[in-house]
């Protein structure tokens, strides 16, 4: 029994690091060996512990949750690690006069979005990717300070952080068969647990800090939101300030960092928001962040350890990435045994050698990095630049500071990495397909192309080692579910060169369909804001390549379809509209919803594909670009007339 409990604890820890922190501390081979040993012990003894990873698909604790689209996108925050960075941001916001800012703790837990209708909690979701989250209503109902009813009778979404208080963690671990390593994993594992009783046992708490979608009430300031949440019975924490003076801000940040170890919950920084909603509307958003908010991150924890070895991994693009293998060290509650090294030039610049003692920093979910050399050892060896690919032995090609495998088609890590990227959360988001599972498919089935994933059957998977009935069913279900996706996720999954998540979303907004995008010219794509000729050429060349067109045809033939927003008839039917500047009658988000309600499509950037640009006060470069492209331009008065039709 002792060995089984030890294995379950180890494997659950490694799974959490892999799936929740994106920070694996053991190799796939080490994980597989431990997993196989546990399977053998379970089969031999006829006993499976309740928290055994063999009960899960790939250790990922979110199996079985319904995907829910948020009514309003939940943005992450832009970050700075320096007080000077805060000062520069404040200066940017208050060019003419100091701007009132709210200051709150940056809680280190799991973001949750609670929906209330007619005074009742009707749904709770995780943040997910900001647009789509997982419904976890029953789990959240076990959190004692989450109000099940509130006085406000309209529709409202309340965002906040699910936390496991440190006192709850200590109490839980007193008699836990598998002690939790830290409170952050404690809350994530609790909310993403299908066993609601286990969620309740964790003794979680909820801190509310924002209102998203709302009907039946209007807010002008963040401090009004804070007071409203308090009045509705939400826990808003004890720390909330309105500040505008940088000297005061510096003092408050220093005090908060000093107080951090005394709190009963984890915080990893402080959050600033413009108090005025009118200012927020004017500042708007980037693709990732609101321009009116900033997170100040506390100093990352840093320790020193020995570099045991440097290995070169082959990515999906064929690039050889150096990875330092370290003497394991515990940093911030996670065991760190590997650290990223960008390229041979960085290794030489930092003077990193095998055998030296180095400083290693780990900050949140970021992969640990070596920041410098702590101690030079007399027997340390220089890191050698490989002449051939470490996997297939093909010659290495140098492109600037990077090294690439010259074998474009048949180098196994390239194929496996491409497939892993295709299945990733930002791509097709296929549950249960970890790198080691895809490697298994490659080795056992000779699977090399993404479309072949959609032909796998339960019977195929049952023939593989480690696949039992439930696991095989779940993986096949995950693959089938992923067939319905968005165009942006599909483009990200395909790995179109120079097209990341943001660019893929802009392509989806601009062209609306895969057919239109595949028929686009370089000029069509280059006309999108922030798209240059290089990116535009990459997109057009990708779709011109025969092998890519064949792959897309096969994927569509295997049932891949795209989610489309429900189209309504109206004055904007069939038109793509951009709003620039500030409207006096509507917030931009509300005006965009009016356009969608009348059959229109809304884009954030001006391009040849845009049919109409609505211009408000202080319009900038988008207006100039619209004039240059000859797009129809109307002012706010004309826009309001169209809304009456």
CATH of the domain at 599: 3.40.50.10190
**Residue 627: inside a domain:** yes
What are the tokens at 645? 């039709």
Question: Can you state the angle between helices 246-259 and 83-93, rounded to 10 degrees?
Answer: 140
What are the tokens at 57? 């698909």
Boundary residue ending a domain (503, 527, 560): 560
Q: Are residues 159 and 97 in the same domain?
A: yes
Return d(Cα 73, Cα 76) in angstroms, integer: 10
Q: How many structural domains is the chain composed of?
A: 6
Determine whether 534 is exposed, middle or buried from the number of CB atoms within 10 Å of its CB (0-12, 13-18, 19+): exposed
Q: Are residues 324 and 422 in the same domain?
A: no
Summarize pLDDT for 310-357 with one digit per residue, the tens: 998 877 677 888 989 999 988 766 788 889 888 898 899 888 999 999
Among 227, 233, 283, 288, which residue's Cα sits nearest to residue 77? 288
Q: Are strands 110-117 and 396-399 parallel, antiparallel or unpaired?
A: unpaired
**Residue 1: inside a domain:** no
Boundary residue ending a domain (262, 297, 332): 297
Report DSSP state, residue 385. P
What are the tokens at 169? 């963690």
| Angstrom distances, CA of residue 334 to CA of 7, 52, 263, 368, 467 | 17, 20, 20, 10, 29
CB 242 within 8 A of CB 100: yes
The CATH number of whichever domain residue 34 belongs to comes to 1.10.287.610
**Residue 163: inside a domain:** yes
Q: Are residues 165 and 260 in the same domain?
A: yes
* pLDDT given for residue 20 in this prediction: 47
Summarize pLDDT for 587-642 with one digit per residue, the tens: 887 888 888 888 888 887 788 888 899 988 877 778 888 888 888 988 888 888 88
The residues, ordered by sequence, that sit 6+ positions from 332 with a Cβ below 8 Å of its Cβ are 182, 301, 362
Residue percentage of the chain with pLDDT more than 70: 92
What is the Cβ-side half-sphere exposure of residue 239, based on CA atoms within 13 angstroms? 19
Among 510, 576, 579, which residue's Cα sits nearest to residue 539? 510
* pLDDT given for residue 531 in this prediction: 82
Boundary residue ending a domain (426, 456, 482): 482
Beta strands in 27-118 (DSSP E): 67-69, 79-80, 101-107, 110-117
Q: Are residues 309 and 370 in the same domain?
A: yes
The CATH number of whichever domain residue 331 belongs to comes to 2.40.50.140
**Residue 570: inside a domain:** no
What are the tokens at 29? 């081979």
319 — phi, psi (to 5°)? Answer: -75, 140
**Active-site residue numbers?**
106
Q: Are residues 225 and 348 in the same domain?
A: no
Rounded (10°) CA dihedral 395, 400, 402, 408: -50
Return d(Cα 14, Cα 178) in angstroms, integer: 13
327 — phi, psi (to 5°)? Answer: -65, 120
Determine whether 565 is exposed, middle or buried from the number of CB atoms within 10 Å of its CB (0-12, 13-18, 19+): exposed
**Residue 425: inside a domain:** yes
Q: Are residues 155 and 96 in the same domain?
A: yes
Return d(Cα 42, Cα 44) in angstroms, integer: 5
Q: Which of the listed ranges 38-52, 117-131, 219-233 does the model predict with the highest average pLDDT?
A: 219-233
Q: What domain range includes position 531? A: 487-560
Q: Region 441-451: what's the mean pLDDT?
A: 83
Q: Which residue has the higher pLDDT, 61 or 464?
A: 464
Summarize pLDDT for 121-177 with one digit per residue, the tens: 999 999 988 888 899 999 999 999 999 999 999 999 999 999 999 999 989 988 887
* pLDDT given for residue 264 in this prediction: 93
Among 292, 243, 230, 297, which residue's Cα sits nearest to residue 267? 297
255 — phi, psi (to 5°)? Answer: -65, -40
For 335-368, give one letter per residue: b (16+ CB within 10 A) or e. ebbbbebebbeebeebebbbebbbbbbbbeeeeb
Q: Is the pLDDT of residue 294 over 80?
A: yes
- 3-class SS at 80? strand
- Name residue, tokens 């990352």: 300
Rounded (10°) CA dihedral 145, 150, 156, 160: -10
Q: Are residues 268 and 332 in the same domain?
A: no
Q: Is the pLDDT of residue 83 over 50?
A: yes
Summarize pLDDT for 8-32 with one digit per residue, the tens: 888 878 766 654 454 556 554 566 6
Return d(Cα 122, Cα 218) in angstroms, integer: 21
Determine whether 95 is exposed, middle or buried from the number of CB atoms within 10 Å of its CB (0-12, 13-18, 19+): exposed
Among 184, 119, 506, 524, which residue's Cα sits nearest to residue 334? 184
Q: Are residues 210 and 82 in the same domain?
A: yes
Return d(Cα 318, Cα 407) in angstroms, integer: 8
* pLDDT given for residue 253 in this prediction: 95
**Residue 155: inside a domain:** yes
Q: Are residues 357 and 418 in the same domain?
A: no
What are the tokens at 183? 């409170």
Q: Are residues 140 and 260 in the same domain?
A: yes
Among 475, 388, 489, which residue's Cα sits nearest to residue 431? 475
pTM of the full structure: 0.51
The CATH number of whichever domain residue 443 belongs to comes to 1.10.150.20
The end-to-end CA distance of the chain, in Å, is 73
Question: Can you state the angle between helices 435-445 and 412-423, rounded to 10 degrees?
Answer: 130
Q: CA 12 from chain center: how many Å? A: 21
Q: Are residues 175 and 242 in the same domain?
A: yes
Q: Which residue has the higher pLDDT, 492 or 33?
A: 492
The residues, ordered by sequence, that sit 6+ positions from 309 with a Cβ below 8 Å of its Cβ are 324, 325, 354
**Residue 458: inside a domain:** yes
Q: Are residues 162 and 252 in the same domain?
A: yes
Q: Cβ of 499: how many Cβ atoms within 10 Å?
A: 22
Determine whether 135 is exposed, middle or buried from the number of CB atoms within 10 Å of its CB (0-12, 13-18, 19+): middle
- 3-class SS at 289? coil
**Residue 567: inside a domain:** no
N residues, the chain = 645
Return d(Cα 536, Cα 532) in angstroms, integer: 6
């Amino acid at each position: 029994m002792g060995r089984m409990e030890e294995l379950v604890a180890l494997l659950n820890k490694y799974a959490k690091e892999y799936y929740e922190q994106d920070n694996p501390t053991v190799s796939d081979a080490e994980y597989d060996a431990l997993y196989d040993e546990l399977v053998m012990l379970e089969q031999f003894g006829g006993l499976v512990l309740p928290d055994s990873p063999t009960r899960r698909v790939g250790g990922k604790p979110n199996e079985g949750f319904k995907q829910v689209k948020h009514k309003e996108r939940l943005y992450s925050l832009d970050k700075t690690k320096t007080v000077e960075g805060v000062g520069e941001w404040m200066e940017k916001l208050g060019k003419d006069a100091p701007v009132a800012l709210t200051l709150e703790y940056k809680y280190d837990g799991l973001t949750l979005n609670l929906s209330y209708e007619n005074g009742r909690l009707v749904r709770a979701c995780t943040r997910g990717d900001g647009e789509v989250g997982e419904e976890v209503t029953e789990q959240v109902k076990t959190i004692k300070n989450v109000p099940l009813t509130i006085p406000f009778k309209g529709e409202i979404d309340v965002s906040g952080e699910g936390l496991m208080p440190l006192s709850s963690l200590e109490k839980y671990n007193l008699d836990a068969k598998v002690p939790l390593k830290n409170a952050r994993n404690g809350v994530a594992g609790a909310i993403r647990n299908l066993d609601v009783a286990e969620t309740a046992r964790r003794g979680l708490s909820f801190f509310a800090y924002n209102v998203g979608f709302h009907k039946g009430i209007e807010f002008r300031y963040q401090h009004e939101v804070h007071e409203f949440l308090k009045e509705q019975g939400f826990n808003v924490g004890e720390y909330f300030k309105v500040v505008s003076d940088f000297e005061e801000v510096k003092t408050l940040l220093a005090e908060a960092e000093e107080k951090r170890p005394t709190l009963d919950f984890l915080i990893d920084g402080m959050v600033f928001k413009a108090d005025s909603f009118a200012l927020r509307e004017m500042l708007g958003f980037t693709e990732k962040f609101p321009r009116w908010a900033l997170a100040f991150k506390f100093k990352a924890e840093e320790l020193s350890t020995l570099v045991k070895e440097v290995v070169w991994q082959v990515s999906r693009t064929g690039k050889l990435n150096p990875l330092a293998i370290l003497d394991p060290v515990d940093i911030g509650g996670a065991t760190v045994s590997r650290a990223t090294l960008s390229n041979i030039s960085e290794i030489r610049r930092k003077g990193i050698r095998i055998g030296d003692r180095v400083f290693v920093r780990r900050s949140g979910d970021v992969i640990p990095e070596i920041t410098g050399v702590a101690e030079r050892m007399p027997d340390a060896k220089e890191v050698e630049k490989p002449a051939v690919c470490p996997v297939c032995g093909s010659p290495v090609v140098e492109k600037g500071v990077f090294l690439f495998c010259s074998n474009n088609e048949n180098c196994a890590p390239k194929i496996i990495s491409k497939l892993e990227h295709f299945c990733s959360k930002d791509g097709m988001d296929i549950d249960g397909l970890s790198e080691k599972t895809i490697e298994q498919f490659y080795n056992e089935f000779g699977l090399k192309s993404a479309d072949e994933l959609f032909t796998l059957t339960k019977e195929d998977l049952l023939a593989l080692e480690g696949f039992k009935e439930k696991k095989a069913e779940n993986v096949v279900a995950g693959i089938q579910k992923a067939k319905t996706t968005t165009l942006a996720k599909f483009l990200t999954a395909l790995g179109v060169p120079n097209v990341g998540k943001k660019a893929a979303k802009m392509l989806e907004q601009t062209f609306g369909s895969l057919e239109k995008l595949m028929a686009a010219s370089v000029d069509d794509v280059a006309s999108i804001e922030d798209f240059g000729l290089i990116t535009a050429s990459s997109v057009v060349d990708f779709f011109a390549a025969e092998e890519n067109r064949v792959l897309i045809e096969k994927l569509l033939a295997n049932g891949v379809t795209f989610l489309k927003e429900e189209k309504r008839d109206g004055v904007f039917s069939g038109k793509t509209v951009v709003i620039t500047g500030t409207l006096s009658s509507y917030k931009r988000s509300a005006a965009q919803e009016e356009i969608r309600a009348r059959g229109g499509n809304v884009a954030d950037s001006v391009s040849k594909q845009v049919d109409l640009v609505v211009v408000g006060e202080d319009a900038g470069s988008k207006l100039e670009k619209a004039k240059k492209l000859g797009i129809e331009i109307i002012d706010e008065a004309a826009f309001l007339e169209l809304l009456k039709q």
